[in-house]
């Protein structure tokens, strides 16, 4: 039987694309769409999906909660959407970025009746990029991460950049100290992440989501780059997570576990 799935943020850039991807998969059934800014509107018009659903203003207005809700909203909205999922025994697949460690601890206590998967990046290439960066980390003493996103992204650095740096810092603690003694323009060296690894966030019209991990040691550098040119790049990962979330008890961070990485 098809897994019933709903989308928080159904009228957003990612949410609308997710609605179309879920509706196109025969193993999934799109049964709910929530977005306060589009409440009462036909999903067909909001997301361009062949569906008779009407967008609900809030989860509490859904007559029958689906088995899974996918969330691509904003940080504050996602916090309360996830609380609703946990309270109602609904699995959550979450792409919204910016959660703190305190948020994750709260979700770990709350998700006892249903499961939650939070992935800072659902693109398979980006997941491989993070894994490759982690594997390379012990072989280099200097590393910096450059992330590039569209000019409407409100949080920085990206969840992917932060997760990449966390994983590289966990894989090696032998990073060289920053040589900078004078920073003429404040912030010119970027933000300092775990392990002292610098992160640089570029916001640029025309871009979608891109990241380059630079690693250097004596006489050589290694660049690991991933580019999402279109939001369709995230869809296979979201669809996979919606199908398999029932197998992952508690809170899971990242899609790696579903890719056997
Ligand atoms: P967006 O276009 O602003 O979409 C967010 C949507 O959520 C908007 O339509 C917004 O409505 C709606 N919303 C606000 N509060 C809500 C609530 N309580 N319940 C339901 N919907 C609500 O943003 P986006 O570009 O799609 O990005 C969304 C998130 O996904 C961001 O955190 C971004 O970083 C993340 N992202 C993750 C990945 C990944 O692979 N994990 C990839 C791309 C983006 P209003 O506009 O009316 O507020």
pLDDT score recorded for residue 30? 98
When divided into structural domains, the chain yields a total of: 2
| DSSP 8-state assignment for residue 87 | H
pLDDT score recorded for residue 39? 98
Range of the domain at 93: 3-118+232-259
Report in angstroms the alpha-carbon separations of 21 from 36, 68, 94, 234, 241.
21, 15, 15, 10, 12
Give CA–CA dist 176/43, Å, rounded.
Answer: 52
pLDDT score recorded for residue 260? 86
pLDDT score recorded for residue 96? 96
Q: Are residues 166 and 255 in the same domain?
A: no
Q: Are residues 143 and 244 in the same domain?
A: no
Q: What is the pLDDT of residues 206-257, one digit of tens each?
A: 999 999 999 999 999 999 999 999 999 999 999 999 999 999 999 999 999 9
Q: Are residues 21 and 90 in the same domain?
A: yes
Sheet with 142-149: strands ordered across: 191-192, 198-203, 142-149, 209-217, 220-228
Q: Which of 20, 21, 35 to mutate to test the pocket of ligand 1 (most atoms within 8 A of CB)?
A: 35
Report in angstroms the alpha-carbon separations of 240 from 16, 27, 129.
17, 10, 19
Q: Are residues 109 and 173 in the same domain?
A: no
Q: Which of 58, 72, 78, 256 to mutate to test the pocket of ligand 1 (most atoms within 8 A of CB)?
A: 72
Q: Are residues 134 and 223 in the same domain?
A: yes
Q: Is 230 helix (H, G, I), strand (E, B) or coil?
A: coil
CA 25 to chain centre: 21
Q: Are residues 32 and 113 in the same domain?
A: yes
pLDDT tens string for the chain (261 positions)?
Answer: 899 999 999 999 999 999 999 999 999 999 999 999 999 999 999 999 999 999 999 999 999 999 999 999 999 999 999 999 999 999 999 999 999 999 999 999 999 999 999 998 999 999 999 999 999 999 999 999 999 999 999 999 999 999 999 999 999 999 999 999 999 999 999 999 999 999 999 999 999 999 999 999 999 999 999 999 999 999 999 999 999 999 999 999 999 999 988
Q: Are residues 144 and 236 in the same domain?
A: no
What is the atom index within ligand 1 of the atom nearest the CA of 16? 26
Give the CATH number for residue 249.
3.40.50.720
Q: Are residues 106 and 173 in the same domain?
A: no
Q: Are residues 144 and 75 in the same domain?
A: no
What is the atom index within ligand 1 of the atom nearest the CA of 75? 32
Ligand 1 centre distance from Cα of residue 86 (Å): 20
Ligand 1 environment, Cβ below 6 A: 8-9, 11-15, 34-37, 72-74, 77, 81, 95-97, 119-122, 209, 234
Q: Are residues 163 and 181 in the same domain?
A: yes
Q: In the beta sheet, which residues pair with residue 91? A: 68
Annotated active-site positions, please? 149, 153
pLDDT score recorded for residue 261? 84
pLDDT score recorded for residue 231? 93
Q: Are residues 42 and 138 in the same domain?
A: no
Q: Are residues 114 and 146 in the same domain?
A: no
pLDDT score recorded for residue 1? 86
Ligand 1 centre distance from Cα of residue 10 (Å): 8
Ligand 1 centre distance from Cα of residue 154 (Å): 10
């Amino acid at each position: 039987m098809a897994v019933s799935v709903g989308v928080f943020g159904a009228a957003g850039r990612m949410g609308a694309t997710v609605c179309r991807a879920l509706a196109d998969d025969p193993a999934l059934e799109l049964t709910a769409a929530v977005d306060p800014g589009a409440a009462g509107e036909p999903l067909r018009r909001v997301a361009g999906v062949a569906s008779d659903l009407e967008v609900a203003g809030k989860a509490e207005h859904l007559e029958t909660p689906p088995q899974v809700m996918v969330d691509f909203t904003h940080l504050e909205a996602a916090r309360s959407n996830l609380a609703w999922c946990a309270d109602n025994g609904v699995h959550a697949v979450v792409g919204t970025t910016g959660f703190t460690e305190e948020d994750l601890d709260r979700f770990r206590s709350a998700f006892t009746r249903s499961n939650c998967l939070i992935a800072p990046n659902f693109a398979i290439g980006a997941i491989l990029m993070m894994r490759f960066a982690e594997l390379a980390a012990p072989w280099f003493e200097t590393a910096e991460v450059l992330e590039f996103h569209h000019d409407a992204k409100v949080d920085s650095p990206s969840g992917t950049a932060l997760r990449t740096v966390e994983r590289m810092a966990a894989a090696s603690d032998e990073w060289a100290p920053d040589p900078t003694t004078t920073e003429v323009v404040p912030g010119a060296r970027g933000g300092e992440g775990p392990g002292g690894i610098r992160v640089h966030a570029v916001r640029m019209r025309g871009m979608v989501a891109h990241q380059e991990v630079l690693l250097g040691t004596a006489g050589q550098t290694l660049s690991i780059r991933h580019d999402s040119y279109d939001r369709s790049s995230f869809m296979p990962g979201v669809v996979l997570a919606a199908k398999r979330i029932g197998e992952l008890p508690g809170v899971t961070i990242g899609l790696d576990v579903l890719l056997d990485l």
